[in-house]
Structures are given as C-alpha cells and as structure tokens.
Amino acid sequence: MQATLHDPVDVKKCAPITHRRRLGDCLVANHQLKELITTELTQVGFDMVPNEKATECTVHLPVDHWVEVGALCLLARSSTATCLRDSRGDLVAWKGADTAEECVEDMVTQADCFRIQYPWDLLKLNEEVLTLIDSSEIAGEISPLAQVDGNLHLGRGSVILPGVYIEGNVIIGKDCRIGPNAYIRGETSIGDHCKIGNAVEVKNSVIYPNTNIKHLSYVGDSVIGSHVHLGAGTIIANYRHDGTNHRSYVGGRLVDTERIKFGAVVGDGVRTGVNTCIYPGRKIGPGRMTLPNAVVDKDLMGNDLSAGK
C-alpha cells in the first residue's frame, strides 16, 4: 500500500497559527501534524511517497483530515478511482486518480474522523492524541518537591522546579524551565525552550517552542504560537457566563467552535503587556502587542501592531 499527503487548498481559516507555516507543519503533541499522520499510516503498512511518484495504486490524503487508518486500508483495496467520504459527505481521501474530481465512485465511512478547518480543531486533536499516552518518559529533571499526577513526557535538559503540580497527560519539550509553583493540567503540550514560571496555570493548551509565560498568568484551552511573551498577569479567559459554546469570527462570520471551554489563538511573536485580559475565543495575529492593562475583546488580526483598551 502507498500513500501521499497533500496540502489543503485553504488554510486561512486556521489563522493566525498558519500565518507563517503550512497546516502540516502545525504542532500536535509536540509533533508536526504531517509527522503524526505519516506515523499512523506506516504503522499499518503504508509506504509514503511524494506526490510526483504517486501511481493509480496510491492513496491521496489531504493533511486537513484525521481519519481512522482502517478506512484508508479499505480505500487502498479499491480497484477503481474512488473517493472516501465521511458520514457528512466531506472528502477524506481518494485513490486511482490524480485529483478527487476524476474519481468515478464514492466510498462512505462511518469511522471516527474529522476535518481540521479551524485552530480549535488542532486543540481537539491534541487532546485526542495525548489521551492515548499511558506511561511517562522522563529525560529531564524533576524536583522532589514537585508532584506529577498523570503521565508526563519530559524532554532532555528540561527542569521541573519545586512547587510545580502537573495533572493529566502532559508533554514538555527539551530545555524547558517549569516553575517554581506552576500548575499544568489537562491534555497540554509545551514545545522546546519554553518557560512557564511562578504562579502560572496552563490548562489543556498547545504552546509552541520558545514561548515565555513567566509570571502570574492563566492560559486555558488555547493555542499559543512560537516566540510569544505573555506579560505578568496576562489572563486568557476560556468560559462564558451563560455556559454556551464559544463562537469565533472566521472570514467575517461567526463560527460555532462547539467548545464550552475555549481560550485564545495567539500567533507567533505576540507580546502582551502586564495585566492584559483576553476574552474567550479571540485571535491575536503574529507580531501584535498589547499595552499594560489592555482588554482584548475582539480579534487583533490587522496591520496595527499595538493595541490597548
């Protein structure tokens, strides 16, 4: 069996996290999405080939879908040009033609799969992948005065300082400094060279490499890009008073995230002033800055690099 990966046509809906990277390069459980998909496929016997070497026997898989590999194995056995669709009718993969439009048959799967259209879909996938972790792997140092209640993957050169409490399945990359007195919980992944400091709580979030959250901050159910600095006292709220799903503007329209808990999506290189408060469901574009005591009650995605209210 052969398979090849394709970039999706439209990645703007995943902004700002895809502003400077392809969707396949986005991180899930500290691995690039395309790496996770490749691992899943090779484990069941697929050989990965580049697009230019694809044949009529090759399964074509866009990286904006996460699907049970059993359905892809069934597609690989098809003898005609066939599209694989999910229960909603969305295209998942195809075989036997250069493009899906050339296929002559449809195959519908009831397998668990979903499309990665929006940044909160990456958060969902991160949760699903980390839930599967069933043991700890420790390559760094953990203070005897820290507590881990769950499964922790800790990278080489990383240090967990006194007073840190880690609860749930958590991945922390290489050369990170966590604590003292930090709280990390839920299915959280923290990239290489990050600093999570004193009295910081991170819950159920994806944090890219080289990001600093050093003092007195809360980050809940959020995706935080690389080289971000959250000033002391920055709070990313994640819950509505009325308990309904969060909605977020995408392409000028409000989209239901289908999440009761959802924080923010923060692009690469963002810097927040001290005591910045970010409303749930907001997006901050790459390189943006906020002033001290700023309230971010709407998306900051334009060209004006500083904001405060």
Note whether residue 128 is domain-resident: no
Q: Which CATH number fits the domain that encloses residue 95?
A: 3.90.550.10
* Domain match, 229 and 102 both: no
Tell me how far CA of residue 212 lies from CA of 58, 179, 264, 287, in angstroms. Answer: 43, 12, 16, 15
pLDDT for res 12: 76
* Domain match, 199 and 50 both: no
pLDDT for res 13: 83
Note whether residue 13 is domain-resident: yes
How many angstroms separate the CA atoms of 58 and 295, rounded? 51
* Domain match, 147 and 287 both: yes
Q: Which CATH number fits the domain that encloses residue 242?
A: 2.160.10.10
* Domain match, 72 and 147 both: no
Which of 117, 152, 174 corresponds to the end of one domain?
A: 117
Domain count, the chain: 2
Note whether residue 126 is domain-resident: no
241 classed as catalytic: no
Note whether residue 125 is domain-resident: no
Which of 117, 148, 168 corresponds to the end of one domain?
A: 117
How many angstroms separate the CA atoms of 18 and 122, rounded? 11
- Two tokens at 169? 């399945």
23 secondary structure, DSSP code: G
pLDDT for res 110: 86
pLDDT for res 262: 98
pLDDT for res 162: 98
Host domain of residue 154: 137-301
- The two beta strands, 170-172 and 152-154, are parallel
Tell me how far CA of residue 153 lies from CA of 52, 149, 178, 253, in angstroms. Answer: 37, 12, 13, 39
* Domain match, 52 and 142 both: no
* Domain match, 79 and 159 both: no
* Domain match, 243 and 186 both: yes
The 10 Å CB-count burial string (b at 16+, else e) for 57-80 is ebbbbbbbbbbebebbeebbebee
Note whether residue 181 is domain-resident: yes
- Two tokens at 243? 């308990």
Note whether residue 188 is domain-resident: yes
* Domain match, 72 and 170 both: no
Note whether residue 155 is domain-resident: yes
Annotated catalytic residue within 6, 215, 227, 229: 215
Note whether residue 183 is domain-resident: yes
Rg (CA), the chain: 20
How many angstroms separate the CA atoms of 118 and 265, rounded? 10
59 secondary structure, DSSP code: E
> Which residues 6+ apart lie within 8 Å of 40 measured at CB?
69
pLDDT for res 68: 86
Strand partners, 56: none
* Domain match, 168 and 275 both: yes
- Give which of 170, 194, 198 is closest to 184, Cα–Cα: 170
* Domain match, 233 and 147 both: yes
Which of 85, 117, 149 corresponds to the end of one domain?
A: 117
| Tens-level pLDDT at each residue, the chain (309 residues) | 899 999 886 677 899 999 989 999 999 999 999 999 999 999 999 999 998 899 999 999 999 988 888 899 999 999 899 999 988 888 899 999 999 899 999 999 888 888 899 999 999 999 999 999 999 999 999 999 999 999 999 999 999 999 999 999 999 999 999 999 999 999 999 999 999 999 999 999 999 999 999 999 999 999 999 999 999 999 999 999 999 999 999 988 999 999 999 999 999 999 999 999 999 999 999 999 999 999 999 999 975 555 555
* Domain match, 45 and 86 both: yes
* Domain match, 107 and 164 both: no
pLDDT for res 303: 56
How many angstroms separate the CA atoms of 149 and 155, rounded? 18
